[in-house]
Chain A
Amino acid sequence: MIEKTVAELSAALAAGETTSVALTQAYLDQIAAHNEVLNAYITVCADSAIAQARAADEARAAGSSAPLLGIPIAHKDLFCTAGVKTTSGSKILHNFISPYDATVVERLQAAGAVMLGKTNMDEFAMGSSNESSYYGVARNPWNLDRVPGGSSGGSAAAVAADLCAMATGTDTGGSIRQPAAFCGITGLKPSYGRVSRWGMIAYASSLDQAGPLCKTAEDAAILLNVMAGVDEKDSTSIALPPEDFTATLNNSLKGLRIGLPKQHFTSGLNPAIESAVRNAVAELEKLGAEVKEINLPNSDLAISAYYVIAPAEASANLSRFDGVRYGYRCENPVDLEDMYKRSRSEGFGEEVKRRIMIGTYALSAGFYDAYYRKAQKIRRLVKEDYARAFEDVDVIIGPTTPSPAFALNSMKDSVTMYLEDIYTIALNLAGLPGMSVPAGFVDGLPIGMQLVAKDYAEATLLNVAHQFQQVTNWHKKKPVLTTSEKTTEA
């Protein structure tokens, strides 16, 4: 049962074939069997999950039938969860029990989802491998010597290994799409403002966006229906007409115009990924789509602009961690400045400190125009590239990543790792919705195809991805978990 999709579980619960308590226990058993090795969860909430499951079963007996009622979910550990430890993958929040729920958590709870626990992540979402987590690296279920991707690596690994039915993640430069690609699952980064950021521990506020990590596009649509919506507590969330993202999943792709950016099919791309993505596009052509090459001339500048804007915003956001009101405080500070400096230096990991330093430098007196303002101008050029492209096409398709999941400890420095996000970062600068869907295997590892649509056109992405998944089986492939005598087939 645990290998089923959210849509299938929802139907099974409605038909009385199982109960939320049984289902939740099955996932808890799977977690008990495999989390020690995968390290996908930082915190498991077994008792409260069973209590929530019992409440869901009672609600169903009393006539409720919401699509997510009783379905077990995992939340990335940067969503605040009332009464539950919320670390953002950092030592500095090792003892932080959130006093409130993030809006996303609240909405999913109100929809009846059962929270299994909090998933592992790169510290403060800064990373593409999960290696910067203070709580140890999460591992890729397809190959334990490989990274699951990041920063939402724990969520992606948990979905791929059936340690939950669905998960939340956040995406600032690719942090949903890249781990989804590495773990062979479906991940959606909604348009900026589509989902409330309230209660998400901020990394870069003008880029961060929450979204679902699931087994199928249909599941992502079901989840987005609940996650999306304007929120008074997040002034950057946008009031859009309510939409049922499942309603258009079965639309025909006849006449759909697909653009392939030539900058995303260059020499840096693994040739086996290129051919997998081109084969995937050919499947969409068979469904009636038309394909043309497009031009995104400022693509290669996006990564440079991102590494000004994201660290600049991070340096401001992370100034709140000062050892005064919550979180880690150093031992025996001699004075206030010593307390600030040592609490932060001992509490933050190396990558986080590096990004704070970059951001502080970029925003410091005399450098603002050369860095932050310049980066914001590049950001407009990137946005305009996409706007021009979308005059001629409905969806832009390319690889999610230039290579499959890399080996643990194989990235020799930060910049090498940053370049792994070359295809995903521009979307965050432009605020556009993007998705990664499984599109094949390279060296036994799953790879992803990235779909991009114009502002607020998540329904188009989900429609294309769902139709693709009706004619392909890549999303149904499962890793063989050899870490204990129990298997996923149990």
Chain B
Amino acid sequence: MALTKTEVEKIAHLARLHVSDVEAEEVAKGVSDILALIDKMQSVDTDNVEPLAHPFDAAQKLRPDVVTEPDRRDELQQLAPQSQDGLFLVPKVIE
């Protein structure tokens, strides 16, 4: 199926990607081509098939809820584009 420009803009917003008017058409084509490849699955009857989420149907392991990581805040925050007093800085959110 071919996506419209409006659909592309909606998906881009959900994915927090910026798509300009100029790019939208090309993006719509690229995504639609892939959807056409994907849509081949729809021809198969899978009504009585259980979905497989994990190749070995394994269940998620649990561990005791204990602290395992040391505090490396200062070191890790050196990787941040902007931080101050142990906080990550972002553009103002609340007026």
A contacts, CB < 8 Å to B: 96-97, 99, 192-193, 206, 232, 235-236, 238, 298, 300-301, 303-305, 307-308, 315, 319, 322-329, 333-342, 344-345, 348, 350, 353-354, 356-358, 360-362, 364, 370-371, 373-381, 383, 413-415, 418, 429-432, 455
Instruction: Decide if the interface of chain A is mainly helix, strand, loop or mixed.
Output: helix
Residue B67 is within 8 A (CB to CB) of chain A in the complex: no
Contact of B38 with A342 in the complex, beta carbons under 8 Å: no
> A-contacting residues of B (Cβ < 8 Å)?
3, 8, 11-12, 14-19, 27, 30-31, 33-42, 44, 46, 49-56, 58, 60-61, 63, 72, 75-76, 79-82, 88, 90-93
List B contacts of A232 (CB < 8 A): 63
Query: What's the least CB distance linking B47 to chain A, in Å?
Result: 9
The answer to whether A336 touches B91, judged by C-beta atoms less than 8 angstroms apart, is yes
Give CA–CA (A201, B51) in the complex, Å: 26
Q: Which residue of B lies closest to A430 (CB)?
A: B55
Residues of A within 8 A of B39 (CB): 304
Closest-CB distance, A134 to chain B (whole angstroms): 17
Find out whether the CB atom of B91 lies under 8 angstroms from the CB atom of A333: yes
Question: Which residues of A lie under 8 Å from residue B79 when comparing CB positions?
Answer: 96-97, 99, 325-327
Main secondary structure of the interface of B (DSSP, over half): loop
Given A304-B41, A337-B16, A353-B17, residue A376 in contact with residue B51 (CB < 8 A): yes
A-B contact pairs, 14 of them (CB 8 A): A235-B63, A305-B41, A307-B37, A336-B90, A340-B16, A342-B18, A353-B17, A357-B27, A358-B35, A361-B3, A373-B51, A375-B41, A415-B33, A455-B56
Contact of B11 among A342, A361, A432 (CB under 8 A): A361
* Cross-chain contact A371 with B38 (CB below 8 angstroms): yes
Tell me, in angstroms, the Cα distance from A14 to B15 when the chains sit together.
54
**Residue numbers in A under 8 Å from B61 (CB-CB):** 235
Give Cα distance in the complex from A345 to B13, angstroms: 11
Contact check, B41 vs A99: say whether CB atoms are below 8 A apart.
no
| Contact A324 B16, beta carbon cutoff 8 Å | no
Which residues in B have their C-beta under 8 angstroms from that of A319?
16
Assess the A304–B51 pair: CB atoms within 8 A.
no
- In the complex the two chains form, what is the Cα distance from A238 to B55 in whole Å? 12
CB-CB under 8 A from B81, the residues of chain A are: 323-324, 326-329
Question: A324 touching B50 by the CB < 8 A rule?
Answer: no
In the complex the two chains form, is B18's CB within 8 Å of A345's CB? Answer: yes
User: Given A339-B90, A341-B16, A379-B51 in contact, is the A414-B30 Cβ separation under 8 Å?
Assistant: yes
Q: Which residue of A lies closest to B41 (CB)?
A: A304
Query: Contacts A304-B38, A378-B44 known; A431 to B33 CB distance under 8 Å?
Result: no
B8 cross-chain contacts in A, Cβ below 8 A: 357
Q: Which residue of B lies closest to A337 (CB)?
A: B16
Q: Chain B residues near A325 (CB, 8 Å)?
A: 76, 79-80, 88
Which chain B residues lie closer than 8 Å to A341 at the CB level? 16-18
Counting chain B CB atoms within 10 Å of each CB, the highest count among A304, A324, A339, A380 belongs to: A304
Docked-complex contact A356 and B75, CB < 8 angstroms: no
A301:B14 contact, CB within 8 angstroms: no
Tell me if A334 and B56 are in contact (CB < 8 A).
Answer: no
CB of A356 within 8 A of CB of B38, answer no
Give the distance in Å from the alpha carbon of A336 to the alpha carbon of B16 in the complex: 11
Of the candidates A305, A333, A380, the one whose C-beta lies within 8 Å of that of B50 is A380
With A and B bound together, what is the CA distance between A303 and B38 in angstroms?
8
The smallest C-beta distance from A341 to any residue of chain B, in angstroms, reads: 4
